[in-house]
Amino acid sequence: MERVPIQLTVNGQPYQAEVEPRMLLVHFIRDVLNLTGTHIGCDTTSCGACTVLWDGRPVKSCTVFAVQADGGEIQTVEGLERDGQLHPVQEGFWEEHGLQCGFCTPGMIMTAVALLQENPDPSEEEIRKAIAGNLCRCTGYVNIVKAIQYAARKMRETAPATAGIAGGE
Amino acid sequence: MTTTPIRGLGHPVKRKEDPRFIRGKGTYVDDIKLPGMLYLDIVRSPYAHARIKRIDASKALAMPGVVDVITGAELEKAGLAWMPTLMSDRQMVLPTDRVVYYAQEVAAVVATDRYTAADAVLAVEVEYEPLTPVLDPFKALEPGAPLVRPDREQKTNHIWHWEAGDKEKTDRIFQEAQVVVSQDLYIPRIHVCSIETCGCVVNYDRATDKLTIWMTSQAPHAHRTVFSLVSGIPEHKIRIISPDIGGGFGGKVPVYPGYVIATYAALKLGKPIKWIEDRSENLQADTFARDYHIHAELAATRDGKIRAMRVHTVADHGAFDAAANPSKFPAGLFSVCTGSYDMEAAHVAVDGVYTNKPPGGVAYRCSFRVTEAVHTIERMVDILADELGMDPAEIRFKNFIRPEQFPYKSPTGWEYDSGNYPATLQKALDAIGYQELRREQAERRARGELMGIGISTFTEIVGAGPSHTFDILGIKMFDSAEIRVHPTGSAIVRIGVQTQGQGHETTFAQIVAEELGLPVENIIVEHGDTDTAPYGLGTYASRSTPTAGAATAVAARKIREKARLIAAHLLEVSPDDLEWRDYAFRVKGAPDRFKTMQEIAFAAYTNFPQGLEGGLEAVCYYDPPNLTFPFGAYVCVVDIDRGTGQVKVREFLAVDDCGTIINPMIVEGQIHGGLTMGLAPALFEEIVYDENGTMLTGTFMDYLLPTAMETPHWKTDKTVTPSPHHPLGAKGVGESPTIGAPPAIVNAVVDALSHLGVRHIDIPITPAKVYQILLEKGVAE
Ligand code: FES
Ligand code: FES
């Protein structure tokens, strides 16, 4: 099949590649760039395990073609840590036992990062709404909510320096 | 004394496995990529029952990038068209002449990438002659029903009949009983749906003649043995690695055809093969849970004392009996269905039946068939209470096995290890304000509002199991641990069980920390690699803590006994003059003279007494003397919307008793997750087939997993009744909430509608179902 050149930035790193137009962004991230933190849990855009940030907005990367993301900036879970410092959301998931098998975790974390950029002080209800597109089979969500609340607190305390993630500096 | 805290039993130690997961650095099967790796994809049947007339792979094989197409005919030549199931049945790997369920594997394609493989699947032409499918297990038993399995000698769809208890005594009590209640309950087919699907990467290295299989396996050692027996490859030439696993819940216990085909392809083609199923395949063809049609009866006195229980169940096993049960228990531990209640007699019978549906009958985060058992008794007790006009709490207090009756011999032959049921229920009722809720319910009822309170006081049975009774294909269900203490006082622990999110790398380190007095951060736990871990039967049925947890404690105690000799040598006293206290060997009467394990470890390599072997390590294969019996009391409060039939779980309190707690944070997390997997089948999940046997719920769009929006903010509490026979007193907890929650929720919904004459509703209690009832009762808005 014919291949199309694309250029995009992933976790601040520029990449160029030639891909089939039908290649999903999630496969590009996982199989071409070998960033396997982004997972695949379904084939109907239901589970959110594949969630990444595309120009700062959370998207299910199983439902985006790599060619659509041409020229865009992608952020995956691997890009959250800065100078050996975990992102507050990562820290929150560890502190509050917000993960068990860890399979949904990268997607959950990316969704939470996006939420806290928009809403630094979400209520429990708002958090639950924000992660409603991310399925977790292990945790029962209570500790995920707590993890995000932990991150929100931490980010408010240390704002504005580390709030959110800088896209592609 | 050591300055670093030990943080053994009872500490909420943050999980050791998390740093890799929160960074996206876990290694799940689909993350493994080998040079030259090919991708396998599977052609599946669009029919539930059909004869295969022709398979034409020529178009697929002509596609660039397609390497091979494998069919049943080819596997048959290699003797691999069939494989044994764990229940002494056999199962098709790829069919040679017929398909027996929708989405069954029909052929496999191998290609250079996943997209080409998926294209090639569509290009394989299969001609079918549809046959009448058998879908209803009752009809399957009627004379003249089409045969699901003509390959068997017995020309019937009946698989087996199994019973437990004393039939004669039970029947006698029923004849003379003052009160009898009976109910049909259907516990539908559901699917575990771990967020990671199943798959494998297989690599055969010709140079070393070694086969390595990375596999989504909850039981890598047992799978290695099965692979060796089926393929004839010597067991030491097979290495199964169960890497990070994205949830198991029972679904990763069976051996699926895909694993076998991928292994065959790797051996045939001499290239690494990856097979990862997609979600639809996972839902449509992988093993299911439940599917029990139950008829249950209770006999009681007029004042509410239960005297006997009688149960008959028809179990739909699909096209092959591929349940994952201990071999002697075709219906799992279903006979524990007398629950937390003392009664004179019980009789339980189960008939297994073939239908044209996917094979299975595994747990769904529950010990073998215990969910079905608990649902039955907890519903029946409420139905009896309703019959007698008693409060559901009161009838439970009246019938509980009393604390002084433990160890308690149940009428179906189980010996419950320990329990204090009244205390746990009382704690739950007090905490939730039961009396106040009943008052509120009365007020709301008067206003026409529908509010219900449901109780479930379940007993779980886990930790399979004692080797005299429990085996899988003859392999006894012991489990193992191996501990090696390094000279500088850190240690490696290898265990025969395998984690899929339960946190073994943390909790097993805590056990060793506690037993040896070494800081938890200096202990690393490894598991899941059959070349390095000691043999074990794997993680399911909440057996890890009861079996391998015990093995770990016993292995550590063996190390401590050797350490005592070294400490005596160092302190120049007799070993008998030492006692282990505050994480050190201390001279009796002079506790300031002591040696820590760290000092002893160094001496074990540098300065050990003459006549003693050097080093400090131990192995234990632990055969539990009995199962463990965790229990709990759950209270659920629901409100029902009269306009939509929607059930809202307003409040849910789970008081669990799992014996000694190793890590309270992890236990609480397990309970939250288990409760959510109890909520799911109670209100949402069900696998549905149409009249042709086509699955209608084959994706996450129609098979509804609860999201954060449907899941309530769980409240938990505990009582602690240690197991008397487990070295730590621990019982296991991962599945209690999944078995305890559904009846609490159903009992609450039925309670909300009981004044309208509703006595039972089958799960899942969907809004449509409830709204229909509201319409019938004339209270819909
Ligand atoms: S894999 Fe993208 S939503 Fe499930
Ligand atoms: S932690 Fe396992 S799916 Fe969320």
Show Cβ contacts of residue B327 under 8 Å, excluding neighbours closer than 6 positions.
Answer: B86, B87, B88, B471, B472, B473, B474
Cβ(B352)–Cβ(B159) below 8 Å: yes
Q: Which residue(s) pair with B10 in the sheet?
A: none
Helix (H) or strand (E) holding B84: strand B82-84
Q: Rounded to the nearest 5 degrees, what angle is found at the Cα of B600, between the Cα atoms of B595 and B601?
A: 150
Give the β-pairing of A4-10 and A13-19: antiparallel
CB atoms within 10 A of CB A34: 10
* Nearest CA distance, A160 vs chain B (angstrom): 23
Instruction: Classify residue B150: in a domain, yes or no.
Output: no
Q: Do B486 and B588 sit in the same domain of this protein? A: yes
* Nearest CA distance, A16 vs chain B (angstrom): 20
- Please state whether the peptide bond connecting residue B407 to the residue before it is cis, i.e. omega within 30 degrees of 0: yes
Helix (H) or strand (E) holding B511: helix B504-516
Q: Do B223 and B360 sit in the same domain of this protein? A: no
**Token pair of B17, please?**
């496995």
Give the β-pairing of B647-657 and B715-718: parallel
Cβ(B276)–Cβ(B29) below 8 Å: yes
Closest ligand 1 atom, residue A61 Cα: 2
Using CA coordinates, name the residue in chain B closest to A35: B24
Catalytic site residue from B198, B337, B366, B620: B366
- Annotated catalytic, B91? no
Give the β-pairing of B82-84 and B90-92: antiparallel
Give the β-pairing of A51-54 and A13-19: unpaired
- Annotated catalytic, B153? no
**B714–A41: do the CB atoms touch at under 8 Å?**
no
Cβ(B202)–Cβ(B272) below 8 Å: yes
Show Cβ contacts of residue A166 under 8 Å, excluding neighbours closer than 6 positions.
Answer: none
pLDDT tens track for B228-277: 988 899 999 999 999 999 999 999 999 999 999 999 999 999 999 999 99
Show Cβ contacts of residue B62 under 8 Å, excluding neighbours closer than 6 positions.
Answer: none
Domains annotated on chain A, with CATH: 4-79 (3.10.20.30), 88-158 (1.10.150.120)
Instruction: Classify residue B178: in a domain, yes or no.
Output: no
**A46–B31: do the CB atoms touch at under 8 Å?**
no
B14 touching A, CB under 8 A?
yes
CA distance B668 to A138: 12
**Which residues are near ligand 1 (CB < 6 Å)?**
A 40-42, 45-50, 60, 62
Q: How far is CA A114 from CA A76, A98, B670, in A?
A: 12, 17, 27
How confident is the model at residue B362, as a pLDDT? 82
CA distance B486 to A146: 38
CA distance A104 to B676: 15
Nearest to B464 by CA among B374, B367, B551: B367
- Annotated catalytic, B439? no
**A135–B701: do the CB atoms touch at under 8 Å?**
no
Decide which of B568, B597, B622 is a domain's last residue.
Answer: B622
Decide which of B607, B622, B637 is a domain's last residue.
Answer: B622
Q: Which residues of chain A have pLDDT under 70?
A: 160-169
Print burial letters for B79-111: b (CB count within 10 Å at least 16), e (below 16).
ebbbbebbbebbbbbbbeebbbbbbbbbbbbbb
CA distance B212 to B206: 11
Instruction: Classify residue B173: in a domain, yes or no.
Output: no
Q: Do B406 and B533 sit in the same domain of this protein? A: no
**B500–A49: do the CB atoms touch at under 8 Å?**
no
CA distance B114 to B118: 6
- At residue A89, φ and ψ (nearest 5 deg) are -70, -40
Q: How far is CA A111 from CA A51, A102, A127, B672, in A?
A: 7, 15, 10, 21
Q: Do B356 and B430 sit in the same domain of this protein? A: yes
Decide which of B622, B651, B676 is a domain's last residue.
Answer: B622
Count of domains observed in chain B: 3
**B676–A106: do the CB atoms touch at under 8 Å?**
no
**Token pair of A141, please?**
């969500």
Q: Do B483 and B441 sit in the same domain of this protein? A: no
Cβ(B539)–Cβ(B365) below 8 Å: no
Q: Do B598 and B639 sit in the same domain of this protein? A: no
Give the β-pairing of B450-459 and B631-640: antiparallel
How confident is the model at residue B542, as a pLDDT? 77
Cβ(B407)–Cβ(B634) below 8 Å: no
Q: Do B433 and B359 sit in the same domain of this protein? A: yes
- DSSP one-letter code for B236: G
- At residue B304, φ and ψ (nearest 5 deg) are 95, 20
Print burial letters for B336-357: b (CB count within 10 Å at least 16), e (below 16).
bbbbbbbbbbbbbbbbbbbbbb
Q: Do B616 and B588 sit in the same domain of this protein? A: yes
B217 touching A, CB under 8 A?
no
Q: Do B679 and B719 sit in the same domain of this protein? A: yes
Query: Helix, strand, coil: what percent of chain A each, to 5?
Result: 40, 15, 45
CB atoms within 10 A of CB B613: 9
ipTM rounded to 2 decimals: 0.96
Cβ(A75)–Cβ(A52) below 8 Å: yes
Cβ(B247)–Cβ(B216) below 8 Å: no
Q: Do B720 and B615 sit in the same domain of this protein? A: no
**Token pair of A103, please?**
């399979």
- Annotated catalytic, B302? no
Output the residue whose Cα is nearest ligand 1's atom 1: A40
Q: Do B104 and B212 sit in the same domain of this protein? A: yes
Residue to substitute in A60, A110, A131, A135 for testing ligand 1 pocket (most ligand atoms within 8 angstroms of CB): A60
* Nearest CA distance, B39 vs chain A (angstrom): 12
How confident is the model at residue B360, as a pLDDT? 84
Strand order in the sheet with B450-459: B450-459, B631-640, B647-657, B715-718
Instruction: Classify residue B664: in a domain, yes or no.
Output: yes
Q: Do B362 and B460 sit in the same domain of this protein? A: yes
Q: Read off the CATH number of the domain in which B520 is found.
A: 3.30.365.10
**What is the sign of the dihedral through the CA atoms of B422, B425, B428 and B431?**
negative
Q: Which residue(s) pair with B274 in the sheet?
A: B39, B201
B664 touching A, CB under 8 A?
no
Ligand located closest to A135 CA: 2
- DSSP one-letter code for B15: P
Residues listed for chain B: 781
> Residue B559: which domain range?
18-25+479-622
Instruction: Classify residue B52: in a domain, yes or no.
Output: yes
Q: Read off the CATH number of the domain in which B55 is found.
A: 3.90.1170.50
The position carrying tokens 């575990």 is B192
**A34–B669: do the CB atoms touch at under 8 Å?**
no
* Nearest CA distance, B499 vs chain A (angstrom): 8
Instruction: Classify residue B1: in a domain, yes or no.
Output: no
- At residue B551, φ and ψ (nearest 5 deg) are -60, -40
CB atoms within 10 A of CB B411: 21
CA distance A88 to A154: 7
Quote the pTM value: 0.96
Alpha helix ranges (H) inside B447-483? none
CA distance B317 to B293: 11
CA-based radius of gyration for chain A: 16
DSSP conformation letters of B150-198: TTSSS-SSEEEEEEEE-HHHHHHHHHH-SEEEEEEEEEEEE----SS--
Amino acid B152 reads R
Residues listed for chain A: 169
Instruction: Classify residue B447: in a domain, yes or no.
Output: yes
Q: What crossing angle do the helices spanning B434-446 and B421-432 adopt, rounded to 10°? A: 50
Q: How many CA atoms lie within 13 A of B386 on its CB side?
A: 24
Cβ(B27)–Cβ(B244) below 8 Å: yes
**Token pair of B702, please?**
């129609």
> What does pLDDT average to in each consecutive run of 10 residues of chain B (781 residues)?
82 98 98 98 98 98 98 97 92 98 98 98 98 98 97 96 98 98 98 98 96 96 92 96 95 95 98 98 96 98 98 98 89 96 98 96 86 98 98 98 98 97 98 98 98 98 89 88 97 93 95 97 96 91 87 97 98 97 97 97 97 96 95 98 98 97 96 98 98 97 97 98 96 94 98 98 98 98 92
Instruction: Classify residue B184: in a domain, yes or no.
Output: no
Residue to substitute in A47, A51, A101 for testing ligand 2 pocket (most ligand atoms within 8 angstroms of CB): A101
- At residue B522, φ and ψ (nearest 5 deg) are -95, 15
